[in-house]
Structure 1
Amino acid sequence: MTMSARTETTTWWNTVDFREAPPGWRVVSLWQGKRVVHHVAGWLIQDRYELDAEADKVVDTPDEMGRERRVIPGICAEGYGWAVVAIDENLEGGGEENWVVLAPGEAEPTAEAQEAEAKRRADAAAKKAQA
């Protein structure tokens, strides 16, 4: 969230298009110390909006180039009625648990790489807590 003199806002990504992913695309996450692999259902094309956190209405206007746009992997999320959602949407850590996106045929990270990533994350969290 962003604080301004006028209002508190939150970022919202609106899906404007969807493109099916070829078989084999995956997202590897580290969730509560365990590896979780999600198959990518497709690519979500999303436009960025700033919303008034209290009134839940759009408070920004696009410039002459239009809104900021992103393309992000979408997975089918069990907790959301198996709807396709962006990998950082409605997740407890805001997507921080996501580790790597793998292309078809690309090998998953080794156990050693996972241990190193878990250590890196723990060190970063400890450093952040000290700040």
Structure 2
Amino acid sequence: MTHHWRTIDFRPAPPGWHIVHLTDEDLYRHALPGWLIQEDDGGDRRVVIGGVDEDGEVRPALIGLWNVSAWYVAGPDDPDPTREEVEQERARRRGEAAKAAERRSSAT
């Protein structure tokens, strides 16, 4: 069943919450605006992480799907990831990209 989610409420994050982003070159953070409460036509509800898009609107952050740099959400007292954790995540992402490329090439 396909869900068509609509945002019905927004709950702001307390100060210090942030989304941790990781690229091949950098590790950086963006403030987490908060959480979106969404509902589908059947009345099912879910809570998703809110991120600010290029127009300044709060929308689902979609960590790990289309927002490939977003890694995880951290609270104000969470420690920064270690160098080892960063390198493990980069290796995992390279492996995922290689598998996806292999699937694409075998499909043609």
**Aligned CA-pair RMSD:** 2.6
Q: Corresponding residue for 1:130?
A: 102
Structure with the largest fraction of helix: 2
- TM-score, normalization by structure 1: 0.65
Say if 1:71 and 1:28 are closer, same or farther in 2 by CA, change over 3 A.
same
- Aligned pair count? 103
The gaps in structure 2 that reach 5 residues or longer are: 104-108
1:12-71 Cα distance to aligned partner (Å, 9 max, x none): 4311100111111111122454323111111111124xxxxxxxxxxxx52xxx23x221
Matched, 1:73 2:49: yes
Percent identity over the alignment is: 38
Matched with 1:26 is: 18
| Rounded Cα–Cα distance in structure 1 between residues aligned with 2:94 and 2:75 | 27
The answer on 1:15 being equivalent to 2:11 is no
Matched residues in 2 for 1:20 and 1:95: separation?
A: 21
Q: What whole-Å deviation, never above 9, does each CA across 1:84-104 have from its counterpart, x for those lacking one?
A: 222129xxx523432111112
Query: Is 1:35 the counterpart of 2:27 in the alignment?
Result: yes
Unaligned stretches of 5+ in structure 1?
A: 3-8, 49-60
> Is it true that 1:46 corresponds to 2:22 in the alignment?
no
Note if contact 2:24-2:90 (Cα within 8 Å) is conserved in structure 1: no
Distance in 1 between residues matched to 2:72 and 2:80, nearest whole Å: 9
